[in-house]
Structure 1
Amino acid sequence: MNGTSFQSDIRYWLKQENAVNHLLVWNIAIFVVLGLLRLVSLSYFGVSDLVFMFSYNQIVLHSELGVFLRKPWGLITYMFAHLNVFHIFFNMLNLFWFGNLFRSFLGNKRILPLYLLGGITGGLVYMLCFHLLLPAGTDTTMLGASASVMALLVACATLMPNYEIGLLLIGSVRLKWLALAVIVLDLISIPQGNLGGILAHVGGAATGFIYIKLLQNGTDLGQPFIWCFEAIANLRSGNRSTTKRSFKPKKSPLKVVKKNIVENKQLRLDQLLDKINERGIESLSAEEKAWLDKHSQEQ
């Protein structure tokens, strides 16, 4: 068995320029690292236990304002961290389903911005909840991608409420009813505990709904994130280009006879698919959609 096959598969998966794949890899990698640190800390108390607790406290979101101000990055890192197997399993399953569904309609660039917006809003709701309900100085922690995933789920349900998905043992269900059922189940489980976490889910859900409604009116809440990511990508590509030597081939003395250029259907198909991948199917013009429908039927 080729020892590098696993690494090759991961590289290939990440090179597909699918933000959902990248989010899955980051979440799973952090889960594995935290799990190994926790396992070692349970087996060998002492330094290893301190390493796990230090790592945990750096990654999670703290509800107490004083602790949060010392570790503000927790508002971002918490949404990539899990400790419970079932917690990460269901979050990643929903991220894969609804993240790719969202991506197919609104493009790849909007995945990470909405993921971050949902997680940030959920985190702020969590902090506000405990600040109002618990005595001053009480610190609790939260981790998990639930608020971010809820934002993607509700965004899909808001954008295409009547889109049907098949559920095991239930059959086809419209997205609007699925999203409503998830929110209701969250709310009625409040008496069982985890009030802050459940309200964080609701905050993420509200973010997904507001995001789509504003987007339909021409305002993209995630645009600042997109500008930031594009600036970083341009900076990195600029640095790479400066290291390359420019080479200009000499002009050939032979006369080139130009032929009539025949439309390359495969090239245009690839261009349209790239456009859908980057901006979503709604970015296509009426002419492009008609061309795509016509030639896809010929395949």
Structure 2
Amino acid sequence: MNGTSFQSDIRFWLRQGNTVNHLLLWNIIVFLGINILRLVITFSPGNVAYAWTFDQLALHSQLSTFILKPWGLITYMFTHVGIFHIFFNMLNLYWFGNLFRGFLGNQRILPLYLLGGITGGLLYLLCYNLFLGYVDATMIGASASVMCILVATATLMPNYEIGLLFLGSVKLKWLALALIVLGLISIPDGNLGGIISHMGGALLGFFYIRILQNGTDLCKPLIWVFDAETRREQRKKQVHKFKPKKSPLKAVKKTDDNSQLKLDQLLDKINEKGYQSLSAEEKAWLDKVSKEN
């Protein structure tokens, strides 16, 4: 594969509008950057670039340090050093992120990733400062964010089955439960703060879906911040709200002569907001078109 072909593949990958791909890319970029700095130490033992960068990106448990570096609550969830750490986190993010995206849309991926990581980070701080005393520990990794998306997906569709090597088909609810139990029973082995952060992400993922099913979307404020289309739609609604209503006698029913255009619009809507965002009429029309074809 030549350089031009590789660049074209990357551009196409990013232009798909899949936030899962964007998150994978940023995690990989940070991983490569920090490990290049780590490699420099081998040839320049006195170099402090790696230690300084790690210190800036990690989440610090000591409150006095955290107050000086609060951005760690965000940056830690994009930072990995170990190859297996990032491999398994990104593999799970790819699998479960795309499953979640297919049902609830692309626009909720980044908000839920951030909320899961923030919840896990805050529980990590709470755990260290209440139970472990005055300890200056650090935490990195996307595990809390990934656990949040994984458990949210399992809560949304608990009986959905995926194939696992050596195990065969496993329902999502049992996979999520197994990961939570494994995390809890490994607490005596150390890394209490890290495991607590994973559980924080898992709890948020569960409650996010339960609250969403009751009509409240915890991601809505962040969706508005990150998604320009959502802001445009909201502005249009506000404009239409104050427009005078037309007389029903003058109303003209418009027919859509371009079925392909309508189909493309519905597919784009599913890609951004998930199949559940379609109205009953849109679902019926899509079903009709699929049967005709």
The answer to whether the aligner puts 1:32 opposite 2:26 as a matched pair is: no
Distance 2:170 2:227 in 1: 37
Report the Cα offset of residue 292 of structure 1.
1.6
- Higher deviation after alignment, 288-297 or 68-77: 288-297
Show the counterpart of 1:266.
260
SS in 2 for 1:135: coil
Q: Alpha carbons of 1:261 and 1:200: their partners in 2 closer, same or farther (altered >3 Å)? A: closer
Q: CA deviation at 1:133?
A: 2.3
User: 1:244 corresponds to which residue?
Assistant: none
Asked whether 1:280 is paired with 2:274, we answer: yes
Aligned to 1:218: 215
Q: Deviations over 1:103-131 (max 9, x none)?
A: 11111110000000000000011111111
**Corresponding position of 2:109:** 111
For 1:255, the equivalent position in structure 2 comes to none
* Partner in structure 1 of residue 22 of structure 2: 22
User: In 2 relative to 1, CA 262–78 (structure 1 residues): closer, same or farther, beyond 3 Å?
Assistant: closer
State the partner residue of 1:201: 198
1:84-163 alignment, distance < 5 Å: 84-136=82-134, 138-163=135-160
Report the alpha carbon displacement of residue 294 of structure 1 after superposing the two structures with TM.
Answer: 2.5
TM-superposed CA distance for 1:223, in Å, is: 1.2
Equivalenced residue count is: 272
> What is the Cα deviation at residue 262 of structure 1?
6.8
Give the TM-score taking structure 1 as reference length: 0.87
Equivalent-residue separation in structure 2 for 1:173 and 1:284 (angstroms): 29
- The question of whether the paired residues in 1 share the 8 Å contact of 2:224 and 2:231 is answered with no
Paired with 1:149 and 1:197, the residues of 2 have a C-alpha distance of: 13
Q: Provide the C-alpha distance between the structure 2 equivalents of 1:271 and 1:122, rounded to a whole number of angstroms.
A: 37
Per-residue CA shift, 1:242-269, capped at 9, x if unaligned?
xxxxxxxxxxxxxxxxxx9773222111
SS in 1 for 2:106: coil
Q: CA deviation at 1:192?
A: 1.2
Instruction: Please list the CA deviations of residues 70-112 of structure 1 after superposition, one character each: whole Å capped at 9, or x if unmatched.
Output: 0000000000010011110110010001101111111111000
Q: Secondary structure at the match of 1:165?
A: strand
> Residue type of the partner of 2:270?
I
Structure 2 unaligned residues grouped into runs of 5+: 233-253
The code of the aligned residue for 1:176 comes to K
Residue by residue over 1:26-71, the C-alpha shift from the partner in whole angstroms, topping out at 9 and shown as x without a partner, is: 0001000111111111332113xx1000100000100000000000
Structure 2 residue matching 1:162: 3-state secondary structure: coil
Show the counterpart of 1:44: 44
Partner of 1:249: none
1:161-186: CA deviations, max 9, x gaps? 11111111111111111110110011
For 1:73 and 1:294, locate their aligned partners in 2 and report how far apart those are by CA, in whole Å. Answer: 50
**1:68: which partner in 2?**
66
* Counterpart secondary structure, 1:166: strand
Instruction: Specify the code of the residue in structure 1 equivalent to 2:26.
Output: W
Partner letter of residue 28 of structure 1? Answer: I
Equivalent in the alignment of 2:237: none
Contact 2:107 2:227 in 1 (8 A): no
Query: Counterpart in 2 of 1:55?
Result: 53
Counterpart residue number, 2:81 = 83
Distance in 2 between residues matched to 1:157 and 1:144, nearest whole Å: 21
The offset of 1:289, in angstroms, is 1.5
Q: Which amino acid is the alignment partner of residue 64 of structure 2?
A: G
Where does the alignment leave 5 or more consecutive residues of structure 1 unmatched?
Answer: 236-259
Aligned pair partner of 1:172 in 169, 172, 193: 169
Corresponding letter in the other structure for 1:102: F
The letter for the 1-side match of 2:284 is A
Q: Distance in 2 between matches of 1:64 and 1:287?
A: 55
Structure-2 change in CA distance of 1:111 and 1:130 (3 Å) = same
